[in-house]
């Protein structure tokens, strides 16, 4: 059978997708390969098809048991002999698999990376007729990636021990730096590098400032996706439970998923989701790699992920079937504070500094008024045109901005006059003339800024505070105390204008008049 016949016979497809053939040809020519292609781009076929045209076994290294399991089941369902070796199998089972491998009847052997440190296993590999090695999710090799795995580091031994056997490495996301790291760590020899465009044209990307806990925004979004499958990412285990609860109370089929659940609970939620028995999974990032469901119509982030790599992979789970899908990121300045605290807690390594930079890129993306697709692609060193109408920024009518210079100066002034010792809520209460005990006790009702900010609701003031944080006029110190930066001082003096997308202020309901 030739390539096209194999494609039709085993996979039921009539033509290759862009770049697949290039990689297949390189593999057939025994060349090392490094392929970067977005999720859903069709990477598996790139190593599965050539394997079917070769006589030996292809060894696939994959980071997750569930991922391997699904692949093995799918191959077997197509009549292709595939096995996996993991720590889950007992002696008897392992021996049986070993026998099958030795008999030469197996086409695919899936293994976890830690297997490759096992002397007995390596010895077995040396006795097999190996076509080539596949490294799936190859970004796990790199410490600069977002999912570094210690046992992926050891994969350098493949080239040391099997110098003549080609390696094909695949990942969905890699900056140039991560790409170089993968090539170097695996010791790839003049690999064929194939980079697909990161533009996922069937995804509509939106990023919005979260209003309060974001639940009203979430409901409004879900109204447009009635009965459709989707994932909602939240930051903590607790919040997955509470958001799932909230949605259930709204009559929606939602389930929480996080690492604290039993394997059984996790599996059943996953299975129910895949089989469309559960519409929505509210999850932490534990619900990640290896989700094999093509008709996910939406992905929502209730808070900001810590890196654009995470974000891109997570939204990438939507629309693998190529149909229109929608993503929504809700974020606020408090997310940034939270993520910074997580990073602060990391041990002092070069990675820590890197983590801050990554977070900054994420923040810039969220606040950006440029094409979302172009911004993400640029981050991964891919230049693409603006999407036109596949993101909120491109499809928004010429963005209506309002001048908030006066409001900004009022807020900065109130922070300065309270000696930069208070949190934002307190300062806003002063601006709005609150008669709260603490304000009266501190004598802050005597300040000239007291009560000069009643034109905006509290949440509008919080948005203005967010904006001042984003543009670097304010910074947050210990105990969430707000301080003016040198740029903030200049804004206060009236040296800069500050403007804001009108929608950020107007979508907020005017606060009911406070009882003061
Ligand atoms: P990735 O591993 O890159 O995320 P997959 O290998 O899971 O992507 O492929 C995604 C989907 O695309 C699968 O449903 C697969 O059957 C389909 N697919 C792959 N190649 C082709 C092709 N040449 N023609 C049509 N569909 C394809």
Task: Tell me which DSSP letter residue 155 carries.
Answer: G
Atom 9 (ligand 1) nearest CA: 42
Q: Is 414 within 8 Å of 431 (Cβ atoms)?
A: yes
Q: Could you identify the atom of ligand 1 that is nearest to the CA of residue 7? A: 23
Q: Is 411 within 8 Å of 461 (Cβ atoms)?
A: yes
Pocket test for ligand 1, best of 11, 36, 42 (most atoms within 8 A of CB): 42
Q: Could you identify the atom of ligand 1 that is nearest to the CA of residue 37? A: 3
The reported pLDDT for the residue numbered 514 is 44
Q: Could you identify the atom of ligand 1 that is nearest to the CA of residue 14? A: 24
Q: What is the DSSP pairing of strand 33-36 with strand 192-195? A: parallel
Q: Could you identify the atom of ligand 1 that is nearest to the CA of residue 17? A: 23
> Measured on CA atoms in the order 28, 34, 37, 40, is the torsion positive or negative?
positive
Q: How far apart are CA 444 and CA 433, in angstroms?
A: 10
The DSSP element (H or E) to which 428 belongs, if any, is helix 424-431
Atom 19 (ligand 1) nearest CA: 42
Distance 28 CA to ligand 1 centre (A): 19
Q: Is 178 within 8 Å of 145 (Cβ atoms)?
A: yes
What is the mean pLDDT for each group of 10 consecutive residues in the chain (516 residues)?
92 91 96 91 94 96 84 91 87 91 95 89 95 95 74 90 96 87 95 90 95 95 96 96 97 95 92 95 86 92 94 92 95 91 85 84 84 85 82 76 91 96 94 96 96 94 85 77 88 87 66 42
Q: How far apart are CA 136 and CA 33, in angstroms?
A: 12
Other beta carbons within 10 angstroms of residue 181's beta carbon come to: 20
The DSSP element (H or E) to which 17 belongs, if any, is none
> Measured on CA atoms in the order 337, 340, 344, 346, is the torsion positive or negative?
positive
Distance 45 CA to ligand 1 centre (A): 7
Q: How far apart are CA 123 and CA 388, in angstroms?
A: 55
Distance 294 CA to ligand 1 centre (A): 10
How long a stretch of residues is the chain? 516
- Binding-site residues, ligand 1, Cβ < 6 A: 13, 16-17, 20, 37, 39-45, 294, 320
Distance 39 CA to ligand 1 centre (A): 9
Q: How far apart are CA 202 and CA 320, in angstroms?
A: 9
Q: Is 182 within 8 Å of 174 (Cβ atoms)?
A: yes
- Collapsed DSSP state (helix, strand, coil) of residue 102: helix
- Collapsed DSSP state (helix, strand, coil) of residue 286: coil
- Which residue, among 151, 147, 125, 124, has the nearest Cα to 137 in the 3D structure? 147
Q: Could you identify the atom of ligand 1 that is nearest to the CA of residue 41? A: 3
The values of phi and psi at residue 135, to 5°, are: -110, 105
Distance 223 CA to ligand 1 centre (A): 30
The reported pLDDT for the residue numbered 36 is 94
Per the listing, tokens 């949440």 go with 459
Distance 150 CA to ligand 1 centre (A): 29
> Measured on CA atoms in the order 200, 289, 359, 327, is the torsion positive or negative?
positive
Distance 321 CA to ligand 1 centre (A): 8
Q: Is 157 within 8 Å of 18 (Cβ atoms)?
A: no
- Collapsed DSSP state (helix, strand, coil) of residue 186: helix
Q: Could you identify the atom of ligand 1 that is nearest to the CA of residue 38? A: 3
Q: Is 109 within 8 Å of 101 (Cβ atoms)?
A: yes
The reported pLDDT for the residue numbered 145 is 65
Distance 44 CA to ligand 1 centre (A): 7
Distance 42 CA to ligand 1 centre (A): 3
The reported pLDDT for the residue numbered 39 is 78
Distance 209 CA to ligand 1 centre (A): 34
The values of phi and psi at residue 155, to 5°, are: -65, -10
Q: Could you identify the atom of ligand 1 that is nearest to the CA of residue 15? A: 23
Distance 20 CA to ligand 1 centre (A): 10
Q: Is 188 within 8 Å of 156 (Cβ atoms)?
A: no
Going from the C-alpha of 27 to that of each of 20, 21, 30, 32, 78, the distances in angstroms are: 11, 10, 5, 7, 22
Quote the tokens at residue 97.
């698999």
- 200's torsion region: left (phi>0), alpha (psi -120 to 50) or beta? beta
Atom 25 (ligand 1) nearest CA: 13
Atom 27 (ligand 1) nearest CA: 42
Per the listing, tokens 């992979």 go with 313
Q: How far apart are CA 354 and CA 343, in angstroms?
A: 10
The DSSP element (H or E) to which 312 belongs, if any, is helix 308-315
Atom 20 (ligand 1) nearest CA: 42
Pocket test for ligand 1, best of 4, 14, 36, 45 (most atoms within 8 A of CB): 45
- Which residue, among 138, 148, 72, has the nearest Cα to 111 in the 3D structure? 72
Q: Is 11 within 8 Å of 3 (Cβ atoms)?
A: no
Distance 16 CA to ligand 1 centre (A): 10
> Measured on CA atoms in the order 21, 27, 33, 39, is the torsion positive or negative?
positive
Residues in a beta bridge with 204: 326
- Which residue, among 462, 391, 405, has the nearest Cα to 428 in the 3D structure? 462
């Amino acid at each position: 059978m030739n390539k096209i016949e194999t494609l039709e016979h085993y996979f039921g497809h009539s033509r290759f997708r862009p770049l697949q053939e290039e990689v297949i040809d390189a593999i057939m020519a025994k060349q090392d390969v490094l392929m970067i292609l977005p999720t859903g781009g069709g990477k598996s076929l790139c190593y599965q098809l050539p394997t079917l045209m070769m006589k030996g076994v292809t060894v696939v290294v994959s980071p997750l048991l569930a991922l391997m399991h699904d692949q093995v089941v799918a191959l077997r369902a197509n009549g292709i002999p595939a096995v996996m070796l993991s720590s889950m199998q007992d002696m008897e089972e392992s021996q049986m698999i070993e026998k099958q491998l030795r008999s030469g009847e197996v086409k695919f052997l899936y293994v976890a990376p830690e297997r490759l440190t096992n002397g007995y296993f390596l010895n077995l590999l040396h006795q097999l007729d190996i076509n080539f090695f596949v490294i799936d999710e190859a970004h796990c090799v790199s410490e600069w990636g977002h999912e570094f795995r210690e046992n992926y580091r050891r994969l350098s031994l493949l080239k040391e021990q099997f110098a003549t056997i080609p390696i094909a490495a695949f990942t969905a996301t890699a900056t140039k730096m991560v790409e170089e790291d993968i090539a170097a760590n695996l010791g790839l020899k003049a690999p064929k590098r194939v980079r697909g465009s990161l533009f996922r044209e069937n995804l509509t990307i939106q990023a919005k400032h979260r209003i309060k806990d974001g639940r009203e925004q979430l409901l409004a979004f879900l109204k447009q996706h009635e009965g459709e499958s989707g994932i909602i990412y939240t930051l903590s285990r607790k919040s997955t439970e509470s958001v799932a609860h909230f949605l259930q109370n709204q009559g929606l089929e939602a389930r929480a998923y996080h690492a604290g659940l039993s394997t059984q609970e996790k599996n059943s939620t996953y299975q129910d989701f895949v089989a469309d028995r559960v519409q929505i999974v509210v999850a932490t990032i534990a619900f990640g790699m290896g989700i094999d469901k093509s008709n996910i119509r939406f992905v929502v982030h209730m808070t900001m992920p810590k890196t654009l790599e995470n974000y891109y992979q997570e939204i990438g789970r939507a629309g693998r079937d190529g149909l229109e899908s929608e993503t929504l990121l809700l974020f606020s300045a408090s997310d940034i504070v939270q993520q910074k605290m997580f990073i602060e807690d990391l041990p002092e390594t070069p990675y820590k500094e890197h983590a801050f930079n990554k977070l900054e890129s994420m923040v810039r993306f969220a606040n950006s008024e440029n094409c979302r697709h172009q911004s993400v692609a640029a981050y991964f060193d891919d230049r693409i045109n603006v999407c036109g109408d596949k993101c909120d920024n491109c499809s928004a009518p010429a963005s209506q901005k309002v001048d908030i210079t006066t409001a900004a100066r009022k807020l900065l002034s109130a922070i300065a006059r309270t000696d930069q010792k208070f949190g934002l809520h307190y300062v806003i209460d002063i601006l709005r003339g609150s008669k709260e005990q603490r304000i009266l006790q501190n004598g802050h009702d005597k300040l000239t800024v007291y009560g000069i900010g009643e034109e905006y609701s509290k949440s509008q003031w919080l948005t203005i505070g967010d904006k001042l944080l984003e543009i670097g006029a304010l910074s947050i110190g210990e105990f969430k105390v707000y301080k003016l930066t040198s740029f903030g001082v200049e804004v206060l003096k009236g040296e800069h204008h500050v403007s804001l997308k009108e929608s950020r202020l107007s979508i907020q309901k005017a606060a009911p008049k406070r009882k003061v």
